[in-house]
């Protein structure tokens, strides 16, 4: 028996291969690769049992497991699935399409950003000189309400003094992260998701891991001032940029916030 193999089938196979590859990468990054391999083995077994060997009893048991298993997988991998859809939506091409339909230019003016960026950069510089540890998260398009709710709502104007005050050692809110939303300091003392990435320098502790984790889970910009070294670090899209000068920090924030 011959199959008719057309261009539609080629596209179909390519798409399935791409989806499988994407899931493989996602699982590898989240250290769930053995689970992914286990699922793959199960699917192959299921296809062999029910389609090739046509074993009715075993096939029907496996069919039931597959239908229940989908819900189990959604629960098990909710974070990874969320990240998958987030990455998809945040992709430059998808952003372009969104802008095309909404008519939004999407870019902010540099002058409008200065009152937000300058106090943050100045506070980071001062805290860096004094070796005061700090963790600041600047929200972009993805809301961070769930993270802000873990801390104390402050809803204040952005000011250099207030930021430095929050991270002052004896301040009750110095532990945790400060969330900045638009032109407001939204909440302080917030708990961020910690990254389990293995390829980051051993010298970096939980503060840096929390910044990295937050930047993997959302499109935020996370700024860290190290208590140990005074070094300024930025985490964006799961990437750390270490040992930044105030000028470099300002240029990164301006570029990224625009």
Task: Provide the binding-site residues for ligand ATP, judged by CB under 6 A.
Answer: 133, 135, 175-177, 191-192, 194, 204-208, 210, 226-228
- Which CB atom, from 27 or from 225, has the smaller least distance to ligand ATP? 225
> In the Cβ-directed half-sphere of 253, how many Cα atoms lie within 13 Å?
31
- Which CB atom, from 120 or from 212, has the smaller least distance to ligand ATP? 212
Q: For residue 101, with 0-12 CB atoms within 10 Å meaning exposed, 13-18 middle and 19 or more buried, which class applies?
A: exposed
In this structure, what are the phi and psi dihedrals at residue 5, rounded to the nearest 5 degrees? -115, 105
Strands (E), the chain: 134-138, 152-157, 177-181, 184-190, 221-225, 232-236, 239-241
- Which CB atom, from 192 or from 234, has the smaller least distance to ligand ATP? 192
- Which CB atom, from 62 or from 166, has the smaller least distance to ligand ATP? 166
Minimum Å gap between C-beta 220 and ligand ATP is: 13
Residue 161 backbone class (left: φ over 0; alpha: ψ -120 to 50; beta: rest): alpha
Nearest 10 degrees: Cα torsion 182, 217, 189, 153: 40
Minimum Å gap between C-beta 192 and ligand ATP is: 4
- Which CB atom, from 158 or from 225, has the smaller least distance to ligand ATP? 225
Minimum Å gap between C-beta 211 and ligand ATP is: 8
Minimum Å gap between C-beta 169 and ligand ATP is: 10
The residue nearest ligand ATP at its CB is: 205
Minimum Å gap between C-beta 102 and ligand ATP is: 33
Minimum Å gap between C-beta 48 and ligand ATP is: 45
Give percent helix, percent strand, percent coil of the chain, each to the nearest 5: 55, 15, 30
- Which CB atom, from 120 or from 210, has the smaller least distance to ligand ATP? 210
């Amino acid at each position: 028996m011959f199959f008719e193999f057309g261009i539609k089938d080629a596209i179909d196979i390519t798409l399935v291969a791409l989806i499988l590859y994407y899931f493989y990468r996602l699982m590898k990054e989240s250290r769930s690769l053995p689970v992914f391999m286990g699922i793959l083995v199960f699917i192959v077994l299921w296809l062999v049992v029910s389609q090739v060997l046509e074993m009715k009893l075993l096939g029907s048991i496996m069919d039931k497991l597959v239908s229940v298993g989908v819900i189990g997988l959604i629960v098990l991998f909710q974070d990874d699935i969320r990240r998958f859809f987030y990455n998809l939506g945040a992709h430059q091409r998808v952003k372009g399409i969104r802008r095309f339909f909404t008519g939004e230019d999407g870019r902010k003016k540099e002058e409008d950003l200065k009152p937000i960026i300058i106090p943050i950069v100045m506070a980071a510089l001062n805290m860096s000189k004094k070796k005061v540890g700090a963790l600041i998260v600047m929200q972009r398009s993805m809301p961070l309400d769930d993270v802000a709710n873990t801390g104390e709502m402050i809803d204040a104007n952005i000011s250099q003094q207030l930021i430095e005050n929050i991270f002052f050692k004896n301040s009750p809110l110095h532990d945790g992260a400060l969330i900045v939303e638009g032109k407001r300091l939204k909440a302080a003392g917030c708990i961020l998701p910690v990254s389990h990435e293995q390829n980051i320098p051993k010298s970096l502790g939980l503060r840096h891991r929390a910044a990295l984790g937050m930047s993997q889970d959302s499109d935020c910009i996370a700024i860290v001032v190290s208590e140990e070294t005074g070094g300024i670090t930025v985490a964006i899209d799961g990437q750390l940029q270490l040992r930044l000068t105030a000028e470099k920090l300002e240029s990164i924030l301006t570029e990224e916030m625009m």
